[in-house]
Amino acid sequence: MYRVLREEKMNTSRSRTNTPVKRTPPTHVATAPNQVWTWDITWLNAFIKGQYYKLYLIVDMFSRLIVAHEVWEEETAKHAEYLVRKATLSQGIAGRPLVLHSDNGSPMKAATFQTTLEKLGVQSSFSRPRVSNDNPYSEALFKTMKYRPQYPFKGFKTLEEARSWVNEFVKWYNTDHFHSGINFISPYQRHYGLDKQIMENRIKTYEEAKAKHPERWTKNIRDWSLPEYVALNPISEEELENIIKGKVSKPN
């Protein structure tokens, strides 16, 4: 029966349900800081079982720098508006082209929040529904935070305690953490243009060490080059070249 239906092109949904829509993955490319940001909200355990604090966090996709964060007791569009205003002011980029990528949570898609983004000149971008790996940079950052030995697994006793701990984590992550995704420099160094000189000094140190003890190396020194771009979701080489030349991000 199914063979006959397939041959007659009738092997499709025959109920009143909507036809499935194929959604293309969002694609963005950043060639410098403050071109593409990603953000999300994660829940922090409280000391009282069943209670949580909500961490709002925006990260720059190119440098991995946390540009803004706040901890509140609830998820609202009002808090999200405050966060993105705070981020654009701290980076001094109000009115400049910027993509803000997120998942499909209610604070992200709220009408008031979208209006705020339009006023700031920020282009919103969303993950595909029920696809968590469309926002990998924020998700990876949350894992780095919650898998640290210093993370209070028994929960935070107060909102002030949660805010204090997150402040210390952000300071460590931005300035002291050598990020493997940017070849073991800190996000602060990458974001504010200190990376090139650091890499030049690092290469020089390795070459001098190899010259003194060539027997320790079987090949060339480690590749300390920095990526020229950071992309969200794989794309073709031709499309990537067009995006980099135009220095724009493809809208979702």
* For range 25-54, the mean pLDDT: 93
H or E stretch including 60?
strand 52-60
Count Cβ atoms within 10 A of the Cβ of residue 12 and give its class: 0-12 exposed, 13-18 middle, 19 or more buried: exposed
Task: Provide the residue range defining the domain that includes 152.
Answer: 28-188
| CATH label of the domain that carries residue 81 | 3.30.420.10
* 148 is a domain residue: yes
**Residue 25's pLDDT is what?**
83
Q: Which residue has the higher pLDDT, 87 or 233?
A: 87
Q: Mean pLDDT over residues 199-203, rounded? A: 95
Q: How many domains does the chain have?
A: 1
Residue-wise pLDDT for 60-116, tens only, equals: 999 999 999 999 999 999 999 999 999 999 999 988 899 999 999 999 999 999 999
Q: Domain for residue 19, yes or no?
A: no
Runs of H (alpha helix) within 38-186: 77-91, 106-109, 111-120, 136-146, 159-171
Task: Tell me whether residue 238 is in a domain.
Answer: no
* Single pTM value for the model: 0.85
Tell me what the pLDDT averaged over the chain comes to. 90
